[in-house]
Amino acid sequence: MCSRCLELTRRSLLAGGAATAAALHAGVAQARVRPQDMVPLVGPGFKPTERDEIGLWKEMDRVEEEISGTNLLITDRNITGYLRDLIGTVGGPAAKDFRIYLARIPEFNAMMFPTGFAVVFSGLLLRMRNEAQLAGVIAHESGHFLRRHMIRSWRDQKRKTDLFAIGAMLAGVGGAGAGVYLGDYVQLAQLGTILSLFQYSRAMEAEADSMGARLIADTGYPPVEMANIWEQLIGEENASARYRGKHRRKGSIFDTHPSEGSRMADLRADAAEITVPGKVYDAHRDRYLTNIGPIRPMLLDDQVKLNDPGASQYLIETLAQDGWNGLLRFYEGEVWRLRNRPGDEQRAAQSYAAAVAYPDAPAEAWRSHGIELMKQGRSAEAKSAFRRYLTIKPDAPDAAWVRSMAG
Amino acid sequence: MVKRGLGIALAASVALSGCVQTRQYADVQFTPPSGDYKLLVLRPDVTVGSLTTGGMVEPRADWTDQARHSIVEALRAQQARRGGKITIVEHRNEVPGVTAQELADVERLNYVVDQSIVLHKYLGDYLPTKRGKGLDWTLGADAVKLGQKTGYDYALFLHAEDSVASGGRIALGVLGLAGCFIGFCAPNVGGQQQLDYASLVDLKTGEVVWFNVVTAGSEIPGIKFGDLRTPEGAAQMVDRLLGRMKPGKEAAKGVVMTPEPQEKR
């Protein structure tokens, strides 16, 4: 995009860079947006009235039709109803207007579209430790809508590309009139325009974070949980990178979002600012676990199959901070088994053995435990484990094979 | 939004010159539908926007509605002249006999097959196995099932996007033109860009029997090549896109279709 910038001399780059920075009124660092300044800009039942926004909404009709009908969606009524209730609680004035879709994608992500429908990835539900954290992400996305970020960024882009086009043309025509070549500066201005667009995007994200913290605090969730999400994500990315012998990617001036570290720090400051002493906040961990319980095995299964043992192990251990159980121990074993480094089979065997000691051990834990016992020559115990598997899952696709093993 | 990718790829495949280009491909045994045929047109995908000074396309809901209406009217008139019975649906739940989900599946399948056609027929990534075979793609059993359940002979998929240069964009071109007098000549900043494509699927065999792409663009803002918003512009587009359907190679030579299945390699 900017390979020719290298042709610039150092001096002209510095001079031009200073001019660009001055023109943009800001450097890379982002000032924290204070929650009390985050007032919703739309009310209930918002419909666009301006031409460009009407056009934007129109384009989204088919996008929503496409997304709401994709077979990637998890359509289980209990879990989708739970998400709808949540956005209905923390969605501020537009709470009743939002639509929310859950896509089966094992990644940490959620997004809001200009017309007020949100898509949450299933990987988010795996990572959240309580309802307050999930509510925080949903409130952040609601914040994008409530602060009208999509149309504001569109207008920002339009204004800046217009200015750039006019400026570039004037530089060409004016330069030709004056007999100087201003092409290098036009390139620099282009870089400045692009950087300023990214910066605007980061400012919007900072607003959504603050708005989100305010929304969940107003509905009685501890706002500090939003900062905790970032602490967990940084930990996960560090663990994933360490395993691959790499370093976690830090923020850059080409990012659309502020760096995770600065989001965490800002959200901690926000939380301290808006937490009312004496008020009772509840993160609703039990309610969260009850609601996502039925799909948690699927979420864990999708995660361990990503072949990212560093992240998977970190996630399981983070969730286990709230207490180990049979499900988490089984998937811990799966991480080792799939990683398959020296010693991993013993580790996996230990995890399976630990898993079956819990009453909630999934059927597959008994099968894996049985296989490990069989390999160790403890066939009587193995057979009893296989029988246990068949008792829990008599119609399992591999039932015939396991039955033959169970003797 | 999803369709944007294909549009960009297609637009990139034609030189950015101020002209109208069309390039169609047909199955070797394709004969253009005529007489008493039943044609299903699935959700014509039309967007019209305004080209901003800086070169972005601002979607315009009112223009899009006008253009969609004009195109649908032009399409009805054209097909009626050929003797066909045409049904144009705007929503997936409007076709009796099939569910919205079944229709969505066929539409999405068609979209990826179209992408493949664009890649291997228009973007230069030609396949030796398909050389001399005209258009050799099929939607398979799903499309045949759609035909059986609904009684249609053909399904037509149509995409049209147009951007009209805004006042600012035209002014930018004028400024560039003014510069010509002092040695910096840049009137060709890019104006209207129209991209239309259509594919025709034979619902008896499931095969994509015909595919056409029309691009119309001007480098100089202010000069237009048919405005989709007007009935005339829409009729012109429908004529460019669908009006000159050529038969396939063998059908044109008068080769009689054999009832036995052709050996395909």
pLDDT tens string B86-107? 889 888 888 888 998 889 899 9
Please, which contacts does B230-236 make with residues 24 or more away whose CB atoms are closer than 8 Å? Answer: B230/B70, B231/B70, B231/B73, B231/B74, B233/B70, B234/B67, B234/B70, B234/B71, B234/B73, B234/B74, B235/B70, B235/B74, B235/B77, B235/B78
Alpha carbons B87 and B110: distance in angstroms, whole number? 18
B258 pLDDT tier (thresholds 50, 70, 90): very low
Q: Tell if the CB–CB gap between B186 and A172 is shorter than 8 Å.
A: yes
Task: List the single residue in B with minimal CA-CA distance to A162.
Answer: B54
Stretch B47-65: mean pLDDT: 85
Q: What is the pLDDT of residue A325?
A: 95
Alpha carbons A229 and A372: distance in angstroms, whole number? 36
Q: What is the pLDDT of residue B106?
A: 92
From B1, B52, B186, residue closest to A161, measured CB to CB: B52
Chains A, B: CB pairs < 8 Å = 81
Domains identified in chain A, total number: 1
Higher-confidence position of B10 and A142: A142
- Which of A47, A57, A58 has the highest number of chain B CBs within 10 A, making it the mutation to test binding with B? A58
Distance from CA of B64 to the nearest CA of A (A): 9
Q: Which amino acid is at A12?
A: S
A229 inside domain:
yes
Distance from CA of A198 to the nearest CA of B (A): 17
Q: Tell if the CB–CB gap between B58 and A55 is shorter than 8 Å.
A: yes
Domain boundaries, chain B: 4-249
- Which of B45, B50, B52 has the highest number of chain A CBs within 10 A, making it the mutation to test binding with A? B52
Nearest residue to A308 (alpha-carbon basis) of A320, A316, A298: A316
Taking the Cβ of residue A180 and every Cβ of chain B, the question of whether any pair is shorter than 8 Å is answered with: no
Alpha carbons B250 and B253: distance in angstroms, whole number? 5
pLDDT tens string A189-203? 777 777 777 777 888
A259 inside domain:
yes
Q: What is the pLDDT of residue A24?
A: 40
- Which of B50, B51, B56, B177 has the highest number of chain A CBs within 10 A, making it the mutation to test binding with A? B56
How crowded is the C-beta side of B103, counted as CA atoms within 13 Å? Answer: 23
- How many beta carbons lie within 10 A of that of residue B241, not counting itself? 23
pLDDT at residue B145 above 70? yes
Distance from CA of A186 to the nearest CA of B (A): 14
Taking the Cβ of residue A66 and every Cβ of chain B, the question of whether any pair is shorter than 8 Å is answered with: yes
Q: What is the pLDDT of residue A302?
A: 96
- How many beta carbons lie within 10 A of that of residue B57, not counting itself? 18
Q: What is the pLDDT of residue B1?
A: 38
pLDDT tens string B153-191? 999 998 888 888 887 787 777 777 777 776 676 666 677
Q: Enter the tokens of residue B182.
A: 């002092």
Alpha carbons A370 and A368: distance in angstroms, whole number? 5
Those residues whose C-beta lies under 8 Å from the C-beta of residue B158, and which sit 6 or more positions away, are B41, B44, B45, B71, B75, B196, B197, B198, B241
Distance from CA of B153 to the nearest CA of A (A): 26
Distance from CA of B9 to the nearest CA of A (A): 19
- Coil, helix or strand at residue B165: strand
Angle at A173 between CA A167 and CA A179, to 5 degrees: 120
A20 inside domain:
yes
pLDDT tens string A80-120? 999 999 999 999 999 999 999 999 999 999 999 999 999 99
Sign for the pseudo-dihedral over CA of A233, A238, A240, A246? positive
| CB contacts, 8 Å: B59 with chain A | 55-56, 58-59
Q: What is the pLDDT of residue B124?
A: 79
Nearest residue to B57 (alpha-carbon basis) of B248, B193, B200: B193
Q: What is the pLDDT of residue B183?
A: 67
Taking the Cβ of residue A69 and every Cβ of chain B, the question of whether any pair is shorter than 8 Å is answered with: yes
Interface confidence: ipTM more than 0.90: no
Contact A208, A270 (CB under 8 A): no
A330 inside domain:
no
Alpha carbons A258 and A204: distance in angstroms, whole number? 10
Q: Enter the tokens of residue A5.
A: 């910038």
The string of DSSP codes covering A66-81 is HHHT-TTB---HHHHH
Taking the Cβ of residue A111 and every Cβ of chain B, the question of whether any pair is shorter than 8 Å is answered with: no
Residue-range definition of the domain harbouring residue A57 = 3-274
Contact B209, B258 (CB under 8 A): no
Alpha carbons B135 and B121: distance in angstroms, whole number? 9
Distance from CA of A138 to the nearest CA of B (A): 23
Question: Of the spans A151-165, A218-232, B73-87, which averages the highest pLDDT?
Answer: A218-232
Per mean pLDDT, which range of B107-121, B181-195, B238-252 is the poorest? B181-195
Alpha carbons A362 and A352: distance in angstroms, whole number? 10
Q: What is the pLDDT of residue A203?
A: 86
Q: What is the pLDDT of residue B36?
A: 82
A87 inside domain:
yes
A272 pLDDT tier (thresholds 50, 70, 90): very high
pLDDT tens string A170-189? 777 777 777 777 777 777 77
Q: What is the pLDDT of residue A208?
A: 92
A255 inside domain:
yes
- Coil, helix or strand at residue B33: coil
A392 inside domain:
no
pLDDT at residue A76 above 90? yes
Q: Tell if the CB–CB gap between B186 and A157 is shorter than 8 Å.
A: no
